């Protein structure tokens, strides 16, 4: 009978024990690592939820809420719209209409409503728009003549037509057919202001590439033929009188609306329409995301649809402050001297603003706030090279 070695006798017994021990050790390590991963995952998810909640609510005062361009006289509109939302029967559209019409009646800063910003012919005309944040439908009037209630006429366009924008005398005809009264929008002050402007050689004005020289003459003007190689004049300085009320309302139920009302730029060429009644420029709202209101040099701003851009920035994950700054910087890249102001609010009430060329302000009131707060926004002063 052959002898067996100690190892021959031991291996069959120790190998299973070794494998069992190794297996148990591996399981313990895997559980530990899995537990570590789960802990990290739980931590990441919790911080993500907190961060998302912060980004969603931000500095929101709570709902209902109203926010609009400018402080000062414009806060009367903020208060009127906010207080109306405390009544359950008031909709977000109602609040925007009431807020903007308050500024129209009060002639806020002379830049909203009748008797302000007369054109070259000494006539005041009005621009306004209003938008429903649920349907995205908007109604607007441009160069509205002889009717004071511009924002209400704009709402009539929204509710009683399938159109978006009516202009000039035809907008006036529509207003009269819908029960609005024809009134003279010129006041003693606006007539006197226009007379002084004409006596001073019609300075400043918005004419370029015309004869006689618009820098020294009132016209009448005739166009100057431009050589194809000649650089066309782009501007003759900063425009005069272009404040605007642009307002966003957030109902306690979550619905949103936005609107804009203005009498445009002082000394404008008759028939001029600014950015105010242009959906996506003067204001814009999508209840799924948020809203924006704008003020400033409308002839430049409407080339960029800054409020549409700002709301889309919200959709891409930016917070309101970032969304506003990005939209302003897009304009500054092309027009470093542009005067602009944007206020942006998400659909939870988080808000922010940005501007250029001046110190911009916006006003808001929401939740249980007892009074309106005005926020001052310094201009973006980035060098052009930093904007690219």
Long-range contacts of 250-254 (CB under 8 A, 24+ apart): 250/63, 250/64, 250/65, 250/66, 250/92, 250/345, 250/347, 250/349, 250/366, 251/63, 251/64, 251/85, 251/90, 251/91, 251/92, 251/95, 252/63, 252/64, 252/85, 254/63, 254/287, 254/347
What is the number of alpha carbons within 13 Å of residue 153 lying toward its C-beta?
34
Distance, CA of 168 to CA of 66 (rounded, Å): 30
Report whether 85 contacts 385 (CB < 8 A): no
First to last CA, the chain: 93
Give the residue among 71, 47, 69 at the shortest CA–CA distance from 351: 69
Give phi and psi for 309, each to the nearest 5. Answer: -60, -45
Give the residue among 249, 211, 240 at the shortest CA–CA distance from 81: 249
From the candidates 244, 260, 262, 279, give the one annotated as an active-site residue.
244
Beta partners for residue 167, in sequence order: 142
DSSP 73: G
Query: Pseudo-torsion of CA 288, 250, 296, 273, nearest 10°?
Result: 80
SS3 294: strand
Q: Left (φ > 0), alpha (ψ -120 to 50) or beta: where does 99 sit?
A: alpha
Give phi and psi for 8, each to the nearest 5. Answer: -65, -35
How far is residue 193 from each of residues 61, 115, 120, 188, 359, measured CA to CA in Å?
41, 10, 11, 9, 26
Give catalytic status of residue 244 as yes or no.
Answer: yes
- Give me the active site residues, please: 244
């Amino acid at each position: 009978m052959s002898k067996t070695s100690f190892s021959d006798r031991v291996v069959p017994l120790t190998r299973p024990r070794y494998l069992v021990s190794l297996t148990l050790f591996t399981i313990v390590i895997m559980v530990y690592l899995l537990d570590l991963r789960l802990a990290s995952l739980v931590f990441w998810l919790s911080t993500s939820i907190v961060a998302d909640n912060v980004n969603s609510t931000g500095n929101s005062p709570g709902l209902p809420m109203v926010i609009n361009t400018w402080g000062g006289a414009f806060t009367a509109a903020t208060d009127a719209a906010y207080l109306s939302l405390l009544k359950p029967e008031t909709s977000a559209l109602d609040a925007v209409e009431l807020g903007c019409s308050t500024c129209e009646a009060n002639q806020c800063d002379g830049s909203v409503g009748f008797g302000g910003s007369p054109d070259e012919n000494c006539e005041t005309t009005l621009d306004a728009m209003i938008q429903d944040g649920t349907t995205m439908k908007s109604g607007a009037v441009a160069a509205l003549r002889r009717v004071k209630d511009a924002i209400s006429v704009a709402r009539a366009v929204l509710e009683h037509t399938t159109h978006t924008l009516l202009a000039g005398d035809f907008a006036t005809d529509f207003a009269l057919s819908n029960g609005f009264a024809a009134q003279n929008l010129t006041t003693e002050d606006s007539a006197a202001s226009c007379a002084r402007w004409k006596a001073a050689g019609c300075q400043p004005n918005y004419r370029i590439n015309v004869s006689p020289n618009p820098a020294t003459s009132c016209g009448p003007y005739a166009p100057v033929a431009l050589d194809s190689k000649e650089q066309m004049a782009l501007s003759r300085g900063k425009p005069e009188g272009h404040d605007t009320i642009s307002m966003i309302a957030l109902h306690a139920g979550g619905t949103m609306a936005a609107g804009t009302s203005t009498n445009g730029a002082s000394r404008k060429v008759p028939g001029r329409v600014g950015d105010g009644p242009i959906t996506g420029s003067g204001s814009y709202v999508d209840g799924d995301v948020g809203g924006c209101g704008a003020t400033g040099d409308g002839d430049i701003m409407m080339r960029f649809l800054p409020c549409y851009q700002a709301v889309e920035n919200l959709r891409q994950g930016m917070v309101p402050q970032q969304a506003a700054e990005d939209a302003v910087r897009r304009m500054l890249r092309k027009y470093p001297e542009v005067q602009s102001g944007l206020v942006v609010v998400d659909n939870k009430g988080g808000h922010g603003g940005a501007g250029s060329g001046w110190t911009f302000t916006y006003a808001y009131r929401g939740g249980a706030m007892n009074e309106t707060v005005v926020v001052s926004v310094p201009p973006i002063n980035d060098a052009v090279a930093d904007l690219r």
